[in-house]
Amino acid sequence: MRPVLFASDLHLSPARPAQVELAFALLAHCRAHAGAVYLLGDLVEFWLGDDDEDPLHRRLVAALADLTAAGVPVALTVGNRDFLMGQRFAAESGVTLLGDYTTIDLFGIPTLLTHGDLLCLKDVPYQEFRRTVRDPARQAQFLALPLAERRRIATATRSDTQKSMLDKDDYIMDVDPDEVVRVLGAHGARRLVHGHTHRPAIHPLTLAGARAERVVLGDWYGAGEVYWVTAGGARLLPAAMLSAELARA
């Protein structure tokens, strides 16, 4: 059985061409080597609507379409940067859009997938902002605006967000441990995989007396991490290392 790949927080942007090329090389290699690919949000810096003809975004849609056309299932949970990915994107790319929480059977281990922002309960201003921008009526109003205006609003919002993050303690922007335990129990899972916090690690947990774990995916502002899972085990490793291994395979 082929391995399963997980990645999050790629934040693809023309400003970081090395990461862009690494991401597309990895997707190309997955056509021959992956059994499935799960992308857990924030693929790009901004997704302003499926009608945005940004060249990088169109290249991403084409690469995902090539991957799904080759028979590799790709599923995506949107994040706080790409939550406007919609049905046109899904139809053109062949990607399955997941909900906020999705449980899969990962080689016999019930595994819960999410972007990760819903776990950061201590960041109350962000949670209020999230509820606002995820409101369907507000999204419809935003998508009705000219693309240039949407881009202006997104850029201004990003600038305000960066400033507010400077005033927040690190623990506020990390996940709430009690919420992690709660959602694992609520979904009957023993492994949680998420991104958003940009703090890659594998955290062992105890859930109802049994072993569990929380896997945090890294961002791609630097080297980038991926989670590569096989029937024999799992590894959280630099994307470049995996890409090189697959190129030699």
| Domain boundary assignment for the chain | 4-117+177-248
Statement: residue 161 has pLDDT above 80: no
* Rounded Cα distance, 215 and 228, in Å: 11
Average pLDDT, the chain: 92
As beta bridge partners, residue 96 has: 75
- Percent of the chain residues topping a pLDDT of 90: 83
Identify the pLDDT of residue 160.
Answer: 66
47-51, 120-124, 219-223: least confidently modelled range: 219-223
Statement: residue 26 has pLDDT above 70: yes
Identify the pLDDT of residue 124.
Answer: 93
Confidence of residue 162 (pLDDT cuts 50, 70, 90): low
Looking at residues 162-166, what average pLDDT do you find? Answer: 54
Identify the pLDDT of residue 240.
Answer: 86
Looking at residues 146-173, what average pLDDT do you find? Answer: 74
Looking at residues 23-31, what average pLDDT do you find? Answer: 94
Looking at residues 206-222, what average pLDDT do you find? Answer: 93
The answer, as to whether pTM is greater than 0.75, is: yes
Statement: residue 184 has pLDDT above 60: yes
Identify the pLDDT of residue 145.
Answer: 97
Identify the pLDDT of residue 6.
Answer: 98
Q: How many CB atoms lie within 10 A of CB 130?
A: 16
Looking at residues 75-103, what average pLDDT do you find? Answer: 97
What SS3 class is residue 68?
A: helix
Sign of the torsion angle spanned by Cα atoms 182, 188, 190, 192: negative
Confidence of residue 166 (pLDDT cuts 50, 70, 90): very low
25-29, 56-60, 128-132, 169-173: least confidently modelled range: 169-173
Burial per residue of 23-48, b for 16 or more beta-carbon CB atoms within 10 angstroms, e otherwise = bbbbbbbbbebbbbbbbbbbbbbbbb
Identify the pLDDT of residue 208.
Answer: 86
* Rounded Cα distance, 79 and 44, in Å: 10
DSSP letter for 226, please.
E
**Which two three-digit tokens encode residue 231?**
């029937």
Helical (H) or strand (E) element with 201: strand 201-207
In CATH terms, the superfamily for domain 4-117+177-248 is Metallo-dependent phosphatases (3.60.21.10)
181 contacts 214 by C-beta, under 8 angstroms? no
Which is more confidently placed, 182 or 166?
Answer: 182
Confidence of residue 49 (pLDDT cuts 50, 70, 90): very high
DSSP letter for 104, please.
E
